[in-house]
Amino acid sequence: MTFWQCETIENREFYYLKFEGQYINGKRNGKGKVKNINNDLEFEGEYLNGKKHGKGKEYNYENKLKFKGEFLNGKKWNGIEFHYHYNGGLDYVVEYIKGEKGKMTKCDGEKKFEYEQEILNDEKLQKEEKEKQVSKEDKNRIQNYITKYGKEVGLPNLQLNDKNFCSLNFDGKIFVDIIYNDKENLCSFASPICSIPNNDKEKFYKKLLISNSFGIENGGAVISIDNQKNQIMLSFTFIANTFSYELFKTVLINFVTIAEKNMDKYEHL
């Protein structure tokens, strides 16, 4: 669950923060994340009865790791607090032991490298998590488009399978696969155009290339070869988060029209 609320931090009124996690009896409990209005992470970790309690990490306004360790009833208990130069580089760290500030270590030499690696590793994890979140949102967007289109054409259960793939059939003649690539955030339409002949393949490929010169007639779609199925394929690929539903639908319909024209054209090869 996600909630926006105004928080008071260190006896001063802060700004509106977003909490992503579980509320029990109106209080934060379990694992959760706190983000500011710019969606930057400020805290991630465990809560008990509304207070930070257990393992957690705090971040500063530059989204750098500020504290990493354990909390007890809202207080820093055991861990390391990171302090930075005005230019963003690590300056020194402070140990917390049972709620009290302990040893301060100036960051230079091997210690500096050790702590900087810890910060870099944390930033890498943050980046990977953000990418996963973006990928999930984009997949949901494409899935919503597919579901909406399916309902419009009488296929209310149309959806991506566990391999991010689904198929459509138009007039029993044209088959279009919709494929989502979550690693690259790309969505593709793909359709078989014709089979590759067993004989005179070189002659066939030459005619195919000539007829598809510069791909001008295909509206950005490309011709390729599916070796496993021994077929010529037409495909169109776009970045998932750049398409609205109306654009998705328009491009899909245009793709079907182009696929049909190509099927008719290549039958004569």
Percent of the chain having pLDDT more than 70? 91
**What's the confidence (pLDDT) of residue 267?**
74
Q: Using the predicted structure, report yes or no on whether residue 13 has a pLDDT greater than 50.
A: no
**What's the confidence (pLDDT) of residue 40?**
85
Instruction: For the chain, give every domain's residue range.
Output: 2-107, 152-266
CA atoms within 13 A on the CB side of 238: 19
**What's the confidence (pLDDT) of residue 111?**
66
Q: Tens digits of per-residue pLDDT, 51-64? A: 999 999 999 988 88
Q: Tens digits of per-residue pLDDT, 160-215? A: 998 999 999 998 889 999 999 988 889 999 999 999 888 888 888 888 888 777 76
| Neighbouring residues of 167: CB distance < 8 A, sequence distance ≥ 6 | 175, 176, 177, 178
Mean pLDDT of 111-122: 78
What is the pLDDT confidence band of residue 10, given thresholds at 50, 70 and 90?
very low
**What's the confidence (pLDDT) of residue 133?**
74
Residue with the larger pLDDT of the pair 12 and 1: 1
Residue with the larger pLDDT of the pair 240 and 8: 240
Q: 152-266 adopts what CATH topology?
A: Yope Regulator; Chain: A, (3.30.1460)
Q: Tens digits of per-residue pLDDT, 45-101? A: 999 999 999 999 999 988 889 999 999 999 999 999 999 888 778 889 999 999 999
Alpha-carbon torsion (144, 177, 258, 171), positive or negative: negative
Q: Tens digits of per-residue pLDDT, 15-42? A: 557 888 888 888 899 999 898 888 888 9
- What angle (nearest 5°) sits at the alpha carbon of residue 109, between those of residues 113 and 118? 15
Q: Using the predicted structure, report yes or no on whether residue 106 has a pLDDT greater than 80.
A: yes
Q: Using the predicted structure, report yes or no on whether residue 150 has a pLDDT greater than 60.
A: yes
Which residue's structure tokens are 């991010």?
164
Please check whether residue 115 is in contact with residue 140, taking contact to mean a CB–CB distance below 8 angstroms. Answer: no
Mean pLDDT of 216-239: 88
Interatomic CA distance for residues 114 and 251, integer angstroms: 52
Q: 2-107 adopts what CATH topology?
A: 2.20.110
